Every structure is written in structure tokens, then in C-alpha cells.
Amino acid sequence: MNSHKPLYEEDLDQLLHHTLENKFRAQRPSNRVWKRIKAKLTGEKSNSGQFFSLRSSLIVQVAILLLFLTLGGVDRLLEQKLPLATRNMDSVSQNNAPSPRTVVWVNKELTDVKDVELPYPTEMATLPVDDHDDAHLQDIQFKRQRLSQNNRHYEPPLSIPPIDVAPHIDSPEGRALMLRSNMQGILSFFMGGQFDPGIIQ
Amino acid sequence: MTTAPGELELIIRAKQGDFKAFELLYEMHKTAIYRTALAITGNRSTAEEILQETFLRAFKNINKIYENTSLSPWLYRVAVNLAYDLTAKRRRRLTVLDTLKGWLTVAPLSLPERKVEERELQELIYEAINKLEFRQRSTLVLFYLQDFSLQEIAEIMECPVGTVKSRLHYARTNLRKALLADERLLGGLAYEFS
């Protein structure tokens, strides 16, 4: 390094210029830079093209939908104006329809129902009669109540009727009476007969 | 900066969506932008990245560029700003010496001894340039490499002319200090600068 030529302060500008010029004069960017730029820009262009094609596709779809809606409206209008088609018979009002009729033959003077001769077997003209219709309903109601009570774990309040008739020993009232009686006995035993049975109610 | 002949027409065509015109604009400016980015960053791949991003932004903002002004200030401004961002990121993991190693290894050994010495000297000076603060380095590169005037540099860097002068002054002063402190230059340059 000692062999460098002297560099004066006023030459610093020239030195800097030469340094940078010599260093970078031959430098050029590679061709791949433009290829990358082009790839990115054309990629964006194609994306925007896809967007436009998508948009046009949407427009076509909307147009077709509107067309169908319009045709549907026309169809309904025509249905109201034109004579009823067969497929719409369900919606026809039956007010003016003739009542169903059964043709019977009368050969003699009518004194009884049996005098009427039906064109079909007699048993078909007789509705089945259920004598226990009411009992059936009561049974359903009972089952429904039981089911409801079981689901809710409902227990009616225990009340001991103040009547002389002793309840059944297996009934809740009977079991409560027995329990009270036992408690009175036990307490009377421990309290030496000074127990007031009225405190257990 | 006035619009170069033909550039105006290319800008107008590019604004109208002519991709070929944009490619010609790229061909017109690519080398200068690349060299500037390379001189500021000292890294080829970074410089190419800056060049690429600068023209991608130019394409996207082509409609904002005035037709009566040159494209150059806008391109340089974007390139310098990108160089600042990328240099700040890469400086953490790439030392200046690592970068210079690449430059030094490309020196052809077949050159005469004097040429080699000059080249080594230039490398040391560039190393000192590369150690300057970013704004001073950018100003120096635009001034000495691209021969821009103070007014043009002020336009590119979006600052007053006085600031450009100040940056150039401090860049020279710091360069002198760095070269004086460099032991590799002792005996050859040091006493000349003092």
C-alpha cells in the first residue's frame, strides 16, 4: 500500500468519481429481472382477466335467473286467465259440486228400513258401534295422568283424615298413622308417660 | 430533469396499457437504477431486487406520473427508499467485509501490478463509502456516480438543496476520517490527507 501515488485533498472528488465509476461502470442487471417483472405483471393481468370472466359469468347467471322469474310470473298469470288445467283440480272449490248419490230400488211400500234394497251388502252400510268408547277414553286419560305423575315425581301431600275409619295399612295414610303411633310409644317410654301426643301432627 | 426524447411518448403509451412501451421504459432506465442501487447497497441480488420492485411500482403508479417530467427522479426516489429499507434489514446479517470480499475476488490477477494496486485502493475507498450513514452514502452515489446536480438530488431525496450540500460535506469529511484511520492506507495516503 505504501506504493500508492500521493492523493491530495482536492483530488478526493476525482478519486470518488473514479472509484464509483470504475466499480460500477460495467455492472448491468441480469435478464431475469425483467422476466420476473413480466411474470408478476402478466400474472396480475391474468388474475384480473379471471376476475372479469367471473364477473361476466355472474352477470349471465343473474340474467338467466331473472328470465326464469319473469317466465314464472307469466306462467302464473296465464294460470289465472286461462281455463283450469287438470293438475289444478285439487284447488277447485267444491261448493257447486254435486252431492254423492246412491241409487236404491224400491219395489214395494216402505214400512221399514229393511224395505230399502241397497246395491251393496248391508254390512257395508252399517257403521261399527263401540259401546266402550267412553271407557276407552277414560283409560287413556288415566294412563296419561300416571305417566305425567311418574315423570314429574309428583307426590300428593300426605294428609291424615280425622275420621274414625282406619285407613288401609298399606296406604300412605295407614303407614303414617302407624309411624305416629310408634313414635308416640317410643317418646312415652323415654319421657315416663309425660308425653303429649298432640305435638306430633 | 427534462423528459428524454421518446420517453414522453412511451409514458403516454404505457398509460394506455401498452406493455411494450413499458418494457422500453425499463430498458431505458434499468442500468442506471441498477448501478445506483448496487453502489448504495453493495449487493447484486439486493440491487436486482430493488430494480424489480421499482419498476413494479412504476407500472402500478404509471397514471400518477406527470407526462411533462422525466421518469428518472421518481424511479431514483423509489430505488433509494427501497435501498434504505433493504439495507437496514440486511445489514444485520451481512457485514460490509463480506460484501467486499466478493468484489475483491473478482479482481483479475492478470492485470499489471499498478492496476491491481489502484483497484485495491478503490476497494478500500468504496469500503469507506459503504460505512457512511445511508443518506450521506446515497447522496454521494447520486452525485459522483450518476452526476446529478444538487437540485436534482434534492428532488430525488425530497429535501432542500441545502440539506444535500450538508450531506455531501459530511460525507467527504467522514470519508477522510475513515481513510486516515485505516491502517492499510498508512504511509501512502494518511499524510497526504492531513
- In chain B, CATH 1.10.1740.10 sits at 1-94
CATH code for B1-94?
A: 1.10.1740.10
Mean pLDDT of chain A: 67
Chain B residue nearest residue A33, CA to CA: B52
pLDDT of residue B91: 60
State the DSSP string of A95-138: TTSPPP----B--S--SSGGGSB-SS-GGGGS----TTHHHHHH
pLDDT of residue B124: 87
Domain's final residue, options A47, A62, A81: A81
Beta carbon pairs, A and B, within 8 Å: 96
Chain A interface mutation, best of B62, B189, B191, highest count of A Cβ atoms under 10 Å: B189
Which residues of chain B are within 8 Å of residue A12 when distances are taken between CB atoms?
172, 175-176
How far apart CA B5 and CA B10 sit, in angstroms, is 10
How far apart CA A188 and CA A196 sit, in angstroms, is 8
How far apart CA B99 and CA B102 sit, in angstroms, is 6
* pLDDT tens per residue, range A103-131: 666 666 767 766 666 666 666 655 555 55
For residue A198, tell me if it sits in a domain. Answer: yes
Grid coordinates of B67: 407526462
Residue numbers of the domain that contains A170: 166-201
* pLDDT tens per residue, range B89-109: 766 555 544 554 455 444 444
- Is residue B6 scored above 50 in pLDDT? yes
Where residue B157 falls among pLDDT bands split at 50, 70, 90? very high
How far apart CA B149 and CA B142 sit, in angstroms, is 9
Question: Which residue did the predictor score with more confidence, A171 or A20?
Answer: A20
For residue A65, tell me if it sits in a domain. Answer: yes
pLDDT of residue A5: 42
Which residues of chain B are within 8 Å of residue A36 when distances are taken between CB atoms?
52
pLDDT of residue B108: 47
Which residues of chain B are within 8 Å of residue A10 when distances are taken between CB atoms?
none
Which residues of chain A are within 8 Å of residue B39 when distances are taken between CB atoms?
20, 23-24
Touching A: B residues 174-193, CB under 8 Å: 175-176, 184-189, 192-193
- Is residue B191 scored above 50 in pLDDT? no
Which residues of chain B are within 8 Å of residue A1 when distances are taken between CB atoms?
117, 120-121, 184-188
B91 SS3 class:
coil
* Residues whose CB falls within 8 Å of the CB of residue B35, separated by 6 or more in sequence, listed in order: A24, A27, B47, B145, B146
| Residue B21: CB atoms within 10 Å | 18
Contact B192 A2 (CB under 8 A): no
The number of folded domains in chain A is 2
* pLDDT tens per residue, range A26-69: 889 999 999 999 998 887 655 554 544 556 667 778 888 888 77
- In chain B, CATH 1.10.10.10 sits at 95-194
Where residue A144 falls among pLDDT bands split at 50, 70, 90? confident
For residue A127, tell me if it sits in a domain. Answer: no
- Angle, helices B7-15 vs B19-41, to 10°: value is 110
How far apart CA A175 and CA A169 sit, in angstroms, is 6
* Residues whose CB falls within 8 Å of the CB of residue B82, separated by 6 or more in sequence, listed in order: B37, B49, B50, B53, B54
| Residue A145: CB atoms within 10 Å | 11
For residue A179, tell me if it sits in a domain. Answer: yes
- Is residue A167 scored above 90 in pLDDT? no
How far apart CA B183 and CA B178 sit, in angstroms, is 10
Give whole-number Cα distances, B92 to A179, B47, B86, in Å: 93, 17, 11
Where residue B77 falls among pLDDT bands split at 50, 70, 90? very high
- Is residue B127 scored above 70 in pLDDT? yes
For residue A138, tell me if it sits in a domain. Answer: no
Contact B48 A41 (CB under 8 A): no
Name the residue among B114, B139, B140, B113 with its Cα closest to residue B126.
B140
- Is residue A74 scored above 60 in pLDDT? yes
Domain's final residue, options A26, A51, A81: A81
Which residues of chain B are within 8 Å of residue A19 when distances are taken between CB atoms?
122, 125-126, 129
CATH code for B95-194?
A: 1.10.10.10
Q: What are the respective helix, strand and coil percentages of chain B, to the nearest 5?
A: 75, 0, 25
Where residue A158 falls among pLDDT bands split at 50, 70, 90? low
Q: Which of A152-161, B121-130, B150-159, B185-194 has the highest mean pLDDT?
A: B150-159
Where residue A1 falls among pLDDT bands split at 50, 70, 90? very low
- Is residue B120 scored above 70 in pLDDT? yes
Contact B176 A12 (CB under 8 A): yes
Chain B residue nearest residue A3, CA to CA: B188
* pLDDT tens per residue, range B41-63: 988 999 999 999 999 999 988 88
For residue A100, tell me if it sits in a domain. Answer: no
For residue A26, tell me if it sits in a domain. Answer: no
Contact B38 A30 (CB under 8 A): no
Question: Which residue did the predictor score with more confidence, A169 or B146?
Answer: B146
pLDDT of residue A165: 63
Does ipTM exceed 0.85? no
Give A12 to chain B, closest Cα distance, Å: 8
Exposure string of A62-97, with b = 16+ CB inside 10 Å and e = fewer, is eeeeeeeeeeeeeeeeeeeeeeeeeeeeeeeeeeee
Chain B residue nearest residue A2, CA to CA: B188
